[in-house]
Amino acid sequence: MIYCTKCGTANSPTSHYCIHDGYPLHKPHESKVLNRENYEFECPNCGSNKVKDALYCHFCGETFEQLEATQMEDHRQISYSRENLNYKFVGKTMLKMAPFVIISMIMIAFLTYFSVGEETNGEPGYVDSQEYNPSQEIFYQYRYITSSFKNIKDEINHFNRNNNNQGEPEPTELEEGNGMSPFDLLLIANLVPTEVESSNFDKREEVIDYSTKNTSYMGLAYYFVIAMVSIAIVSIVIMRRVQFNNWQDLLLKALAFSTVYALILFVVSLVTQYTGSMDGRDFIRESSLSFLSLHSLWKGFLISFVVILSVFSFTRKVELPRGIKAIKYSAILSMILFSIMLIFSSIVYFKDLRHSEVMELLNANPSIFSLVIIVQIAVYLLNIVFLNKLEFLRRSGDPNGGEPIELDELHEFLNYHLFSKPIDIRREYADIYQSITNYETIYWLLFAVTVVFIVVIARRFSGLNISTRLKSIFVYSLVVSMMMAFLIYSGTHLSSSLTMVSEREEFRNEAILGASAFQMFLRSFGIVFVISIIGSYLKVSKERD
């Protein structure tokens, strides 16, 4: 239907004049040829552009009686904000946001720390080779991922304890517990990688004969999801308790929150460092573990800004520009897709993995339990649905161009996604992907469901002119792809180490267990953008007929 902008009467899509008063009708699909100056603002009900002097929306029939007074008030508030936008004003805004930032960080640290239990029965043991199930090799590797952080901290504590107890028997057991402090988990939840350095100094030769440097990220998406949920909850509280004068004020508060969040996270990364040394008869061994501070700065800002602005986009207190409204649809699509993947991953877990031998192994690790695995599978499903490759490999090679050497503890695995199947896979590793390929039909169904939801949400942009539509869909696709990339990165274990022997570079180790976040960003952006452009015309095309 097309509504008369003068009297609000509903007319046939093929009509050119109103059946009630004969007034010329404004056709939605003709908006691209109209002068932009004819538009004053957007309909608060459907978001369509309001034609100059119109009393009713041509797209949904909404009346504009009280909208103009509100719009004039908004203009006064916007000019007031610009006059006061100085360092003092920004500083006050940041101070107002600081308590909310601290609350969100306490929530993240609390929820992550108390979801990591104490180890039972010591270090998790190995499953007997006769009971080994190669189709679940992916989940075996989490034992290596999560235990490495604890082992490094235990080694540092071990060094320090030896130095403090010289002359006494060496302790036979390391400290009990999960090895992670709330600060550690706060940084890990915000995707901050760790850097471990160790060196061995030969007293006789007076030279460093051995040194290693390893940069890694744990890669458990569960902790990142906790961080996003915590920030979102605090953002809802801010939206209810803090007054927004206009959309610029809303944007300023979101920027202030993210800036304070990033700065505090940066300070935490600087003070969260662990160092230890062992002074032997012929050597001095030193080790250190720290977090990459620059990563905490930009990742903390970007993550918190995307989450808080997504929540703020749901506000009804002020009129928002089309770009911020598009972010709301990005949040809706991301939540719908991730919820669907969580439901299916729960089915996979309870059907295939819950009572398996591998879960008994994983449950002995304090960092891994059922919900962690369910979230991890959901992230991998998102990766497959957006046609990105799953990558599982670990390599060690000569940095001078030699052939890569496979390590014993984790062999090189092949990639997989819906269109590119595993190729040239050796028979002894063929069953590794059994748990993935078993559900290929379901993956196509999930892909179809994803396309349907993208099209449904894209119809929200069908009432816009071509220029506004392209800009809105671009922002919408950009934010969706950023969220998908964050999720994929959070669920990907990355490790890169360099070993030096006698000040000579010997070899590098590289490992990836997950997928490329950059590839996920490109693929998800392309898929969402193209499908949304097509889907945004479906409603208009229907009305033309």
Q: Does 427 lie in the same domain as 374?
A: yes
Please indicate, yes or no, if residue 360 is contained in any of the structural domains: no
What value does the mean pLDDT take over residues 240-253?
88
* pLDDT 10s digits, 323-353: 899 999 999 999 999 999 999 988 877 876 6
Most confident residue range from 14-28, 118-132, 187-201, 226-240 = 226-240
229 or 407, higher pLDDT: 229
Q: Does 448 lie in the same domain as 380?
A: yes
pLDDT of residue 167: 39
Please report, for residues 179, 237, 259, 273, 333, the alpha-carbon distance to residue 266 in angstroms, rounded to integers and kept in the order given: 22, 24, 10, 12, 31
Please indicate, yes or no, if residue 277 is contained in any of the structural domains: yes
Q: Does 531 lie in the same domain as 477?
A: yes
pLDDT of residue 134: 45
Domain that includes residue 417, residue range: 327-351+366-545
Q: Does 528 lie in the same domain as 402?
A: yes
> Percentage of the chain with pLDDT > 70?
62
Residue 6 has pLDDT above 90, yes or no: no
Q: Does 313 lie in the same domain as 235?
A: yes
Please indicate, yes or no, if residue 216 is contained in any of the structural domains: yes
* pLDDT 10s digits, 408-434: 333 444 566 666 655 344 443 443 445
Q: Does 315 lie in the same domain as 345?
A: no
What is the C-alpha separation between 306 and 228, in angstroms, rounded?
A: 10
Q: Does 527 lie in the same domain as 428?
A: yes
Q: Quickly count: other Cβ atoms within 10 Å of residue 104's Cβ.
A: 25
Please indicate, yes or no, if residue 449 is contained in any of the structural domains: yes
Is residue 366 within 8 Å of residue 117, measured between CB atoms?
yes
Q: Among 58-67, 71-80, 237-246, 481-490, whose mean pLDDT is lowest?
A: 71-80
Q: Does 267 lie in the same domain as 340?
A: no
pLDDT of residue 238: 94
- The helix or strand, by DSSP H or E, that contains position 209, with its residue range, turns out to be strand 207-217
What is the C-alpha separation between 496 and 14, in angstroms, rounded?
A: 64
Mean pLDDT of the chain: 75
435 or 499, higher pLDDT: 499
Predicted TM-score (pTM) of the model is 0.76
pLDDT of residue 265: 96
Amino acid occupying residue 165: N
Q: Does 477 lie in the same domain as 398?
A: yes
Q: Report residue 170's pLDDT band, with 50, 70 and 90 as the boundaries.
A: very low
Please report, for residues 298, 342, 440, the alpha-carbon distance to residue 446 in angstroms, rounded to integers and kept in the order given: 33, 12, 10
Q: Does 444 lie in the same domain as 498?
A: yes
Please indicate, yes or no, if residue 128 is contained in any of the structural domains: no
What value does the mean pLDDT take over residues 184-198?
89
Structural domains in the chain (count): 3
Please indicate, yes or no, if residue 147 is contained in any of the structural domains: no
Which residues have CB under 8 Å from 9's CB, separation 6+? 3, 18, 19, 20, 21
Please indicate, yes or no, if residue 27 is contained in any of the structural domains: yes
3-state secondary structure of 266: helix
Residue that finishes a domain, picked among 28, 44, 65: 65
Q: Does 57 lie in the same domain as 42?
A: yes
Please indicate, yes or no, if residue 142 is contained in any of the structural domains: no
Q: Does 106 lie in the same domain as 12?
A: no
CA-based nearest residue to 21, from 5, 1, 7, 11 = 7
